[in-house]
Amino acid sequence: MNAFWERVTAVGPPPSTAVVVSVVVAAALLVLEPNAWRRSRGVVTIAHEGAHLLLALLTGRRLHGVRLHADTSGVAISSGKPTGIGVVLMTAAGYVGPSLLGLAAALTLNTGHIVAVLWTAVAVCALMLVLVRNVYGAFSLVVTGGALGAVGWRAPDQAQIAVAYLIAIFLLMAGPRPVLELRRRRSRTSDPDQLARLTVFPAAVWTGFFLVVTVGALVAGAGLLNPF
């Protein structure tokens, strides 16, 4: 266990400019190419629903489970007061969650803790696996967490660096896209519509807030990971 902890907390060398540029190109393809996005969006859903669960826990709500679906939709199930700041924070966390997780990963990478990013992602998948309530959700968490765990345990240092940077950059770049998709995919049960019913602000204001946060995180993360 001590050896594992030393490995997780170890400070690694910074990546080369070529590695960062390659990762940026790969992340952009995953976000912008339609077929790739249909597959990679499931990772964003994991982060989205994980953020709902985290804020529900932090605000004293009772967690009941999470479902992740093949169409990249998901739902985090909790109970507690139907109104108030707790449920507002929990509901608002979803669309900004991936971007803020990406920014946290960028901050960690900026300190040189490469492996910590990988194993934190594995831990998130493992904790959500305890709460998952459908087969596809369990499958997606096992595959995602298992792949990242294999990289963190077996892969060469350069591969670990590339994957850790891909996690951060992908989440940062992917964060704004689901917000932009709200206009054509939004339903009466979407997060902005729920927030409109919980607060005095209309859904359009909440959508704009999500966009400001996600784009701001992208800009801030780019500054932290800029190799030039």
Residue 133 confidence class, pLDDT cut points 50, 70, 90: very high
Stretch (H or E) spanning 77: strand 74-79
Q: List the alpha helices (DSSP H) in the chain.
A: 2-9, 17-32, 34-58, 85-110, 114-131, 135-154, 157-174, 176-185, 191-198, 203-225
pLDDT for residue 45 is more than 90: yes
Domain that holds residue 162: 16-225
The predicted pLDDT at position 35 comes to: 95
pLDDT for residue 222 is more than 70: yes
The predicted pLDDT at position 184 comes to: 73
For residue 159, is it within any domain? yes
Q: Between 188 and 111, whose confidence is greater?
A: 111
Stretch (H or E) spanning 68: strand 62-68
The predicted pLDDT at position 49 comes to: 97
For residue 166, is it within any domain? yes
51-101: per-residue pLDDT in tens? 999 999 999 999 999 999 999 999 999 999 999 999 999 999 999 999 999
Instruction: Render the burial of 161-176: b for 16+ CB within 10 Å, e for the rest.
Output: bbbbbbbbbbbbbbbb
For residue 220, is it within any domain? yes
For residue 174, is it within any domain? yes
pLDDT for residue 141 is more than 80: yes
pLDDT for residue 7 is more than 90: no
How many structural domains comprise the chain?
1
The predicted pLDDT at position 53 comes to: 97
Residue 186 confidence class, pLDDT cut points 50, 70, 90: low
The predicted pLDDT at position 185 comes to: 64
For residue 56, is it within any domain? yes
Q: Between 10 and 48, whose confidence is greater?
A: 48
